[in-house]
Amino acid sequence: MAKNGSPATTIAVFTLAGIALLVLTLLAAWYLQSPAPSAAAAPRAGIDSVAFDAEPLSPLPQSVALDADKVALGAKLFDDPRLSRDDSIACATCHPLDHAGSDGRRTARGIGGKVGAMNTPTVFNSGFNVCQFWDGRAASLEEQAAGPVRNPAEMGSDWPEIVGKLSQDRFYRNAFGHLYAGGVSAAAVRDALATFERSLVTPDARLDRYLRGDKAALDERESRGYRLFKDLGCASCHQGINVGGNFYAGLGVFGNFFGDRGKDAPEDQGRYNVTGQETDRHRFRVPSLRNVARTAPYFHDGSVPTLEQAIRLMGKYQLGRDLSDDEIGLIAAFLETLTGNYQGRPL
């Protein structure tokens, strides 16, 4: 070879041969060190066959580190109707904590019986969302707190009025004075409310226990539903710690959802109402599925009354699948395992 080829050619040939030999050596070593599979070691069909580090979902933390005094102040504000213009509506009116953090209505109700256009999302676990509101117009819980306060169809108030009311209350003067350098202020009220809302975590759902290693936390039917949830692609959007809530998605990937139902109102435009970009039309923040079995009705406008109907529509318009009744039942059984606990009690 040295006589018939150039030195560069010779070097290249030997280099490639050396690389190939190294790869074969490593593969042989890996094979010899790997234990042979056996019937005893093979995973059972169902939840045991899913590796924890490959899961698209993550368990909620048992607790969140927050300033306890701010949490307590925020909790009092959350229940205080003085945040509304006529002292009739509190945050808890639309987000009752004893009803999974949502009011169960198709759309929100405000002062004077005014009816909104959007369904009220649960406040539980909202601190894990990438943004707030269906259209993502608030980047944080602090920013979100200003929305209902100023919305004429909700609380219909403003910050000067609220600060004036709260400043007349000795408890609030003392509490805000202790916790915030500026005392009672719009920014301090928003911060206290947001801190309390970040404390509204619902850990220890049965799925959380499974994800932490308790393989008996899901029964056979629920584990089949979870596998189907992943195999169909539901977890492509409903993923992570909040089983959603971490990005936007269009409603109607495999069909004209709004055209088929004969309604395409301003509230149906989603993210487009914020950005004005045509690519954002009908795009919404993917809702969290945490506690979803307790937060009917569903979709951004509350137009879907049952979980089974929501699953069927999601299958058709987001996955391009006509799901069978059995498949819908399995997924619904799995979604029941996402119901967590608040203050040690199931929602």
Catalytic residues: 154
The secondary structure of 162-178 as a DSSP string is: HHHHHHT-HHHHHHHHH
Cα(50)–Cα(57) distance, rounded to whole angstroms? Answer: 12
Question: HSE on the CB side for 306, CA within 13 Å?
Answer: 6
Q: State both tokens at 57.
A: 């979902």
Buried b (16+ CB within 10 A) or exposed e, 224-245: bbbbbbbebebbebbbbbbbbb
Residue with tokens 């010779």: 10
Residue type, 164: G
Count of other CB atoms within 10 angstroms of residue 103:
20
Cα(300)–Cα(286) distance, rounded to whole angstroms? Answer: 10
The secondary structure of 63-114 as a DSSP string is: -----HHHHHHHHHHHT-GGGSTTS---HHHHS-GGGTTS--SSS-B-GGG-
340 CB-near residues (< 8 Å, 6+ apart): 60, 124, 201, 202, 203, 204, 205, 208, 290, 291, 346, 347
Residue 120 near residue 105 (C-beta atoms within 8 A): yes
Spell out the alpha helix ranges (H) of 233-324: 257-261, 272-275, 307-318
Residue 83 near residue 90 (C-beta atoms within 8 A): yes
Q: State both tokens at 240.
A: 């992570």
Cα→Cα distances 240→66, 243, 289, Å: 22, 5, 11
Torsion angle of alpha carbons 39, 40, 44, 47, nearest 10°? Answer: -140
